[in-house]
Copies of this chain bind each other. A is one copy, B any other.
Amino acid sequence: MKPIPTSRNKLPPLLAFGAHPDDIEFGCGGVIAKETAAGGAAHFVVCSRGESATHGTQAQRVAEAKKAAQILGATIEFADLGGDAHFEVRAVHAIKLAGIIRRVRPGVVLAHSLIENQHPDHSRLGQLVRDACRLARYGGVKELRRAPPHAIEQLFYYAVTPEAEPVNVTPVLIDVSEPEIVATWTAAMKVHASQAATRNYAELQLTRARYCGLRAGVTHAIALFPNDPLVVGSLGQAGRGARRF
């Protein structure tokens, strides 16, 4: 039976999808750490075992992913979309992910950005998750009848590399400046020791977060890209603008 994420503060859980065992950690691990530190529940769906990468066995990759999820305070499961480096935008995959959404019943969903100039699996998973969020709402999809329809609150995209950041979407910058959040995030990235490039990857992400933080007037921040306009009840809810220089 799959794990059921539970939240201390009774909010619906955060659901994050990653193509490979380290993508969520590198792309938005700081955001996860921040939410779980505040008592929220988070659940990871990792859609391959990293078996096409240059380094690391499947067993190592899975173990690393489980360890990293634990560090970040998240539960984790693995899904199969054809295997690492074999993702395709197929209805059957979107429906499978929609089934997970109906089971987990998240508020916010996180997924890879849709920018295609990337590891081919990344944007494909982003597209599948976007579609899955819609299919999860449609009552008549027969493969999904096991669980009632579910409408999420918002879908945000994360970018594992700068090239993956969409340019025509205004990001939301999440302040992750607390030293313990940065430390937890860093630890979760370093768990992926099988990956030869881990040191550079972790430096890239911390450099990005510092860079983003300098823009926002905080120590570290992570940019997320909303799939839809944000609806708020008042201007006060809309946050302050990033503009320090």
Contact = CB atoms under 8 A, between A and B. Distances in A.
A245 B210 contact: no
A213 B217 CA distance: 23
A40 B62 CA distance: 45
A174 B230 CA distance: 9
Closest 5 CB pairs of A and B: A54-B139, A228-B241, A154-B241, A167-B167, A230-B239
Interface in A127-162: 127, 130-131, 134-135, 137-142, 149, 152-156, 160-162
A214 interface: yes
Total copies of this chain within the assembly = 6
A89 B91 contact: no
A163 B215 contact: yes
A84 B169 CA distance: 30
Interface stretch (A70-78, A185-193, A218-226): A218-226
A120 B134 contact: yes
Contacts of A31: 235
Given A154-B241, A241-B153, A14 B235 contact: yes
Contacts of A208: 211
A167 B131 CA distance: 21
A131 B120 contact: yes
Nearest to A167: B167
A82 B53 CA distance: 27
Given A231-B218, A234-B174, A239-B238, A245 B204 contact: yes
16 contacts: A52-B135, A52-B140, A85-B91, A117-B227, A171-B229, A172-B232, A174-B233, A174-B234, A200-B214, A203-B210, A203-B214, A204-B211, A228-B241, A229-B242, A230-B240, A237-B239
A43 interface: no
B241 A231 contact: yes
A240 B215 CA distance: 24
A203 B215 CA distance: 12
